[in-house]
Amino acid sequence: MFINTNKLDYKTIWLLTWPVMLSNISQPLLGLADIVVIGHLPDSKYLAAVAIGTTLFTFIYWAFGFLRMGTTGMIAQLVGAKDGSSNRTVLAQSLILGLSIAAFLILFQQAIINYGISLLAPPKEVLEYAISYSHYRIFGAPAVLCTYVLVGWFVGNQTTKVLLILLISTNLLNIVLDVIAVNVLGLKVNGLAIATVISEYFGLLLALWFCRKMLLKIPGEIAIQKLKRLAYYIPILKVNRYIFVRTILLLIAMSFFTAQGAKLGTNILAANVVLMSFVTLIAHALDGYAHSIEALAGKAVGEKDLSRFHQFVSAAAVFSIFTALLFSLFFLIAGEWIITMLTSIKTVQQIANEYLPWLVILPLFAVSSFLIDGIFIGTTQARLMQNTMIISVVFVYFPVWWLSSDYYNHGLWFSLMCMYSARGITGAWAYYRLSKNKLWIN
């Protein structure tokens, strides 16, 4: 993989990545802020309720994460082909698709929330708070799904600095509103939900403003007729169906992790929430390189330049591995201190410290899975990405959990580690086969 790279390749990767990485990191840091605000309340049930509600909405929203990923791959290739009219049309089609899905979620919210929370099986003392939190969060659906589309569009157009401004501004507002809602107004769990929804709509308005400015520089016109008939949405749906299945499988795995933690008790659930915030931080940081390679690989394929494609992949791989090593070192040195900062509940601190070693080694096992996903998204090889996830979740994650269930929470973390490893191994094999047979360009 590490072939024919030069200083310009590394510079290009870094210039695209650092704004994405900082903006991505701001998202889990927001989650950490939620944990800090709610984690210092005297009862762990509030923290557990936010964990259940957040997991539910991670599942609901990221089930439609193809609105971000599919948009990026298609737009990146259109940028390479210099097709401004299709660039505008795909954006409009994706926004209409996002709004349609959001309307469905709000209309059927009662059934969706009740069924989703029942699958997560929270303890009785947590259930009421989790349901209440969820009924507020669902009204952010239009903002979240349309923002997914716009973020994918920005990345595909290689305007990643917009993401830095957009996400940091939104998340800083959310943090301020969290503190006001919980510590000043005393709204507890519902306060966090309301603060998040307000911030989500602020983020959408800001994204639309940036989008309008960018469209002034992109030639071409929207093909209005392609917005009116379902047949014109088929290319988007074909790419996105594989991403949808892949995302559902990943979310099932992560929700299963939360549900199994809940069965082990409220304190273990709360400790896993704290540690999973570390996992989210790792994922969002490494996704910075994945986002960059989505744009660059997609553009290279659109230009039919395989040499540049492999150069960018090689440079991104070097950066990703180095960053994973830094994360492992960081959690080894500062992990216990961070846990103490996140929650003042002694029992939760002790449990989280016991399982901290899993977080120290996780970046090294997970790093390749994020980068390869980025390659597949940018080149619209969504079917392969789906297949690697099927193998990793169905044939690795669940069997390993079943075999290691006698080790309780350690077995749960071990199965998660194996899933990440399997994603990386199967993805690397698919990358090798496509490169050997020169199948990246259709």
Least confident of 24-28, 43-47, 320-324, 354-358: 24-28
Task: Give CA–CA dist 297/305, Å, rounded.
Answer: 9
| DSSP 8-state symbol, 218 | S
Q: Is 355 part of any domain?
A: yes
Q: Give the tens place of pLDDT for each residue, 220-260.
A: 888 888 888 888 888 788 878 898 899 889 888 988 898 88
Nearest C-alpha neighbor of 71 from the set 147, 161, 168, 181: 147
Q: Is 392 part of any domain?
A: yes
Task: Give CA–CA dist 14/99, Å, rounded.
Answer: 33
What's the pLDDT at 255? Answer: 80
What's the pLDDT at 167? Answer: 80
Q: Give the tens place of pLDDT for each residue, 395-435.
A: 999 999 999 988 989 999 999 999 999 999 999 999 999 99
Least confident of 34-48, 65-79, 256-270: 34-48
The residue-averaged pLDDT of 30-50 equals 67
Q: Which amino acid is at 346?
A: K
Whether the pLDDT of residue 29 is over 60: the answer is no
Q: Give the tens place of pLDDT for each residue, 377-394.
A: 888 888 999 999 999 999
Q: Is 423 part of any domain?
A: yes
Task: Give CA–CA dist 350/275, Å, rounded.
Answer: 12
Provide the H-helix boundaries in 303-407.
Answer: 306-342, 346-378, 382-392, 398-404
What's the pLDDT at 254? Answer: 86
Distances (CA, A) of 23 to 93, 141, 170: 26, 21, 10
Q: Is 1 part of any domain?
A: no
Q: Is 357 part of any domain?
A: yes
Q: Is 442 part of any domain?
A: no
User: Are 350 and 40 contacting, i.e. CB atoms less than 8 angstroms apart?
Assistant: no
User: Are 113 and 138 contacting, i.e. CB atoms less than 8 angstroms apart?
Assistant: yes
pTM score, two decimals?
0.77
Q: Is 379 part of any domain?
A: yes
Q: Give the tens place of pLDDT for each residue, 332-353.
A: 999 999 898 877 888 889 999 9
Domain with 372 in it: 7-436
Q: Is 2 part of any domain?
A: no
Whether the pLDDT of residue 76 is over 70: the answer is yes
Distance of CA 46 to the CA centre of its chain: 24
What's the pLDDT at 425? Answer: 96
Least confident of 3-12, 22-31, 150-159: 22-31
What's the pLDDT at 21? Answer: 76
Q: Give the tens place of pLDDT for each residue, 121-130.
A: 777 777 888 8
Whether the pLDDT of residue 25 is over 90: the answer is no
Q: How many Cβ atoms sit within 10 Å of the Cβ of residue 197?
A: 20
| DSSP 8-state symbol, 397 | I
Percent of the chain with pLDDT over 70: 94
Domain count, the chain: 1
Binned at pLDDT 50, 70 and 90, residue 44 comes out as low
The residue-averaged pLDDT of 156-178 equals 85
The residue-averaged pLDDT of 103-112 equals 94
What's the pLDDT at 168? Answer: 81
Q: Give the tens place of pLDDT for each residue, 285-302.
A: 888 888 889 888 888 888
| DSSP 8-state symbol, 230 | G
